[in-house]
Chain A
Amino acid sequence: MIKSHSDLEIISLEEKQNTAQYRHRVMCCNSTACLSAGAHGVREAFEASIKREGLEPQVQVVPVGCMGLCSQGPLVAVKSRLPNQETGGKTETLYHSVNPELAETICQEHLANGKAVEAQVLSPELPFFARQQRIVLANAGEINPERIEDYIARGGYQALLQALSTMTPLEVVESIEQSGLRGRGGGGYPTGKKWRMLHEAQAESKYVVANGDEGDPGAYMDRTIMEDDPHRIIEGMTIAAYATGAQQGYLYVRAEYPVAVRRLETAIRQAKRQGLLGNKILDKDFGFSLEVRIGAGAFVCGEETALLASIEGKRGQPVLRPPYPTQRGLWQSPTMINNVETFANISSIIQKGADWFRSIGTDSSKGSKVFALAGKLNHTGLIEVPLGITLRDIVEDMGGGVAKGRNLKAVQTGGPSGGCIPEAYLDTAIDYESLQHLGSIMGSGGFIVMDNDDSMVDIAKFFMEFCRDESCGKCLPCRAGTVQMYQLLDKISKSQASLDDLARLEDLCDMVKHTSLCGLGQTAPNPVLSTLQYFRQEYLDLMTDSPPQVADKAINYEALGEG
């Protein structure tokens, strides 16, 4: 049981001594992206050949979290205690595209003889790595996420101890307010303001909930945080519970993330055993318990009121706000919902101070943001960058630009609720307001790059199909509107639509955006609206030349025949 600073120090020291006895540590990525590329086999190959070479006392194999450059996985980093002469005095060497054969070579040459396999080495000066600023991903790739000792050795749970022993709950709330942290789930609501609302709510029971129901196509920021550093989320939530007076918390994770669920459950068990969850946390008069709740496959459950309904065991569909969850949430009690990435920022803010956090980012948006780079880029994967970086820096510098001979066309941010930003606006510095101004949103951090081969109508159609399939069906505009919009986009993409259809599509976008009940419906037209704003000509090029037909207005005879 951890009760004091010295208990944390003892674990930390033991852990450091333990790792110091190894000459090399082989950090094998054990995150979902690399696992699907064969990382498990790589780790087994390392273990087998280390055993064969008799290097076991000198080399430790550590399964770690995501190192970011997922497109070139599986990634393996070799960390050496002593600077490696042959590699220019470096202590860390990062290998890309490792397979079991290469693992054996690395073992024979690098681990046994200290000679790096240069052909497969990635330079840490690569802008993809060099321009990152890792706060929430600080431990990803550095620790074994299934060991609480690793987290503690990297300064974990110090923030919780600091908050519990030196700060009042109100001081914690104030410090989060001062930090300027905003919700990382997409909306960008000031986190401190939400905490204050729950802090001030008068109720017998209060809840904090972490939203890990990430569902945007191509986005996996939250999954990575949950898989690679589960204790950081638990620590953030526990601090939140202390600040707001909540006794119970839920981590809502989608069922499609089995690795994240398993690691979070392991982490909760470990934290309980160490007295970091449960009654009398850190021997203080403060208790908090935490449970994982698994979603049932509905995208709409990322919407906070639908998420709460799902936790209660009801049909996952949104309800009207107000009352807001901080007034009446889970089982009618005040409840605060933050995204897991938001919670992952908390411990750093407490430890390093609100001023440190404020120093990163832009005037309105502080701190860093994790983005999942995807699409037609040379380097794709996960990056954490300070807010205020330009879109062009991410695309051309960090992402390495589009393939040779192709032209960059647009960047899609914010997933199905976001929009497409054309090349001309890439010098925009990223923050919540600037992206909104361009007709897109920050969203949870999806970042899809498109080149001149991509049809913007198809992109809009893809996202509309997604929204149609994920609509819960409660309110009419979203339920029926997405169906009609998808059919019109389909018609346009097949060059069967008239200008009349386009006008109808725009009417529907306007109506669905303004009349839908929840965020899913209100933002579903965004991909269409933003592509219409910047790439209208592409739609017009697909129009049939014939003038709108009168018959089309009254009855769709084609559909009648099918019915």
Chain B
Amino acid sequence: MPINLNINEQNLKAQEGETLLTVARREGIPLPTLCFLEGLSVAGSCRLCLVEVEGSSKLQPACALKVTEGLSVKTATERLKRYRKMIVELLFAEGNHVCAVCVSNGNCELQDLAVQMGVDHIRFSYQFPERKVDLSHPLFGFDANRCVLCTRCVRACDEIEGAHTWDVAGRGQSAHIISDMAQPWGSATSCTSCSKCVAVCPVGALFGKGVSVAEMKHQPAVVDFLASARREQNWHKKEEQ
């Protein structure tokens, strides 16, 4: 059933049951996201896509907000921009993100977000956490220093591949991604080496071995395929162009 809604003073039509993010993407309204990935369950944890909803004091994540008749939202107020910029700064401050030595340099969603938000310096103190690098898998590596805990790998592995190799352990600032029961990735027997986690990682935390600085290319077509194959019941990869 088509419904009417208003985004940033612009009257739009949408289907009931769609999320605000889907509508915004279709209409070309920019909304930053990090933990969201089409085809995976919604985590709502990065808080970047929060929007102001008229008549509600609480900000709502666009990735989970179902559009309803008469919904009126603002997606880019000064306040939201300020919050988003702080969130990106905090992401940089909490991990060890050094673009100059990262495989994903130039091909990284966190980097893109920083550029979009105009982050030129970090106002918060860097935490320099001691984190590990796991290179025990023959094909892939995991560098926790670059991890932003978006849990896309956890969800892709569980929901698409069905292996559930990845999970989250620890809490608060010590929360981290583990494979199997905190075993080295190489000895995680549940891993099928399908590389889906590497494909969905927004940063350079999960990477294929053999690539050096700025050499890793995330392939949007692969991610699209992962997300849409089940929905479209089409398990054959489209010809890559």
> Which of chain A's residues have a CB closer than 8 A to the CB of B50?
515
The stretch of A172-180, A392-400, A553-561 that contacts the partner chain? A553-561
> Which of chain A's residues have a CB closer than 8 A to the CB of B189?
none
In the complex, whether A472 has a CB less than 8 A from a CB of chain B is yes
In the complex, whether A475 has a CB less than 8 A from a CB of chain B is yes
Q: How many whole Å from B191's CB to the nearest CB in chain A?
A: 20
> Which of chain A's residues have a CB closer than 8 A to the CB of B93?
480, 484
Cβ–Cβ contact B45 & A554, under 8 A: no
Cβ–Cβ contact A559 & B42, under 8 A: no
> Which of chain A's residues have a CB closer than 8 A to the CB of B173?
468, 471, 473, 479-480, 483
The stretch of B84-92, B99-107, B208-216 that contacts the partner chain? B84-92
In the complex, whether B231 has a CB less than 8 A from a CB of chain A is no
In the complex, whether A119 has a CB less than 8 A from a CB of chain B is no
In the complex, whether B128 has a CB less than 8 A from a CB of chain A is yes
Q: How many whole Å from A59's CB to the nearest CB in chain B?
A: 51
> Which of chain B's residues have a CB closer than 8 A to the CB of A554?
121
Cβ–Cβ contact A472 & B128, under 8 A: no
| Size class of the B contact interface (CB-based, 8 Å) | 20 to 34
In the complex, whether B238 has a CB less than 8 A from a CB of chain A is no
Contact of B90 among A471, A481, A514 (CB under 8 A): A481
> Which of chain B's residues have a CB closer than 8 A to the CB of A511?
82-83, 86-87
Interface of B is mostly: loop
Bitwise interface map of B from 166 to 190 toward A, beta carbon under 8 Å scored 1, else 0: 0110111111000000000000000
In the complex, whether B126 has a CB less than 8 A from a CB of chain A is yes
> Which of chain A's residues have a CB closer than 8 A to the CB of B43?
474
Q: How many whole Å from A496's CB to the nearest CB in chain B?
A: 12
**Complex formed: what's the CA distance from A320 to B61 in Å?**
9
> Which of chain A's residues have a CB closer than 8 A to the CB of B47?
475-477, 515-517
> Which of chain A's residues have a CB closer than 8 A to the CB of B86?
507-508, 511
Q: How many whole Å from A546's CB to the nearest CB in chain B?
A: 18
Cβ–Cβ contact B94 & A483, under 8 A: yes
**Complex formed: what's the CA distance from A471 to B42 in Å?**
20
Q: A473-B172, A479-B94 are contacts. A553–B128 as well, Cβ < 8 Å?
A: no
Bitwise interface map of B from 52 to 89 toward A, beta carbon under 8 Å scored 1, else 0: 00000001010010000000000000000011001100
> Which of A480-519 touch B at CB < 8 Å?
480-484, 487, 504, 507-508, 511, 514-517
In the complex, whether B7 has a CB less than 8 A from a CB of chain A is no
In the complex, whether B141 has a CB less than 8 A from a CB of chain A is no
In the complex, whether A125 has a CB less than 8 A from a CB of chain B is no
Cβ–Cβ contact A476 & B128, under 8 A: no
Most buried by A among B50, B90, B167, B170: B90
Q: A473-B173, A477-B47, A483-B94 are contacts. A515–B87 as well, Cβ < 8 Å?
A: yes
> Which of chain A's residues have a CB closer than 8 A to the CB of B125?
484, 487, 556, 559
**Complex formed: what's the CA distance from A436 to B59 in Å?**
20
> Which of chain B's residues have a CB closer than 8 A to the CB of A300?
171
> Which of B136-172 touch A at CB < 8 Å?
149, 167-168, 170-172
The chain A residue sitting closest to B120, CB to CB, is A554
> Which of chain B's residues have a CB closer than 8 A to the CB of A320?
42, 44, 61, 64
In the complex, whether A562 has a CB less than 8 A from a CB of chain B is yes
In the complex, whether A405 has a CB less than 8 A from a CB of chain B is no
> Which of chain B's residues have a CB closer than 8 A to the CB of A516?
47
In the complex, whether A298 has a CB less than 8 A from a CB of chain B is yes
In the complex, whether A563 has a CB less than 8 A from a CB of chain B is yes
**Complex formed: what's the CA distance from A320 to B47 in Å?**
11
Q: A504-B123, A556-B126, A563-B128 are contacts. A484–B90 as well, Cβ < 8 Å?
A: yes
Task: Identify 30 residue pairs between A and B in the complex whose beta-carbon atoms are under 8 Å apart, listed by A's number.
Answer: A315-B168, A319-B44, A320-B61, A320-B64, A468-B172, A468-B173, A473-B172, A474-B43, A475-B47, A476-B149, A477-B47, A479-B173, A479-B175, A480-B90, A480-B93, A482-B172, A483-B94, A483-B127, A483-B173, A507-B86, A508-B124, A514-B59, A514-B83, A515-B50, A517-B47, A556-B125, A559-B125, A559-B128, A560-B126, A562-B128
Enumerate chain B interface residues (CB-CB to A < 8 A): 42-47, 50, 59, 61, 64, 82-83, 86-87, 90-91, 93-94, 121, 123-128, 149, 167-168, 170-175
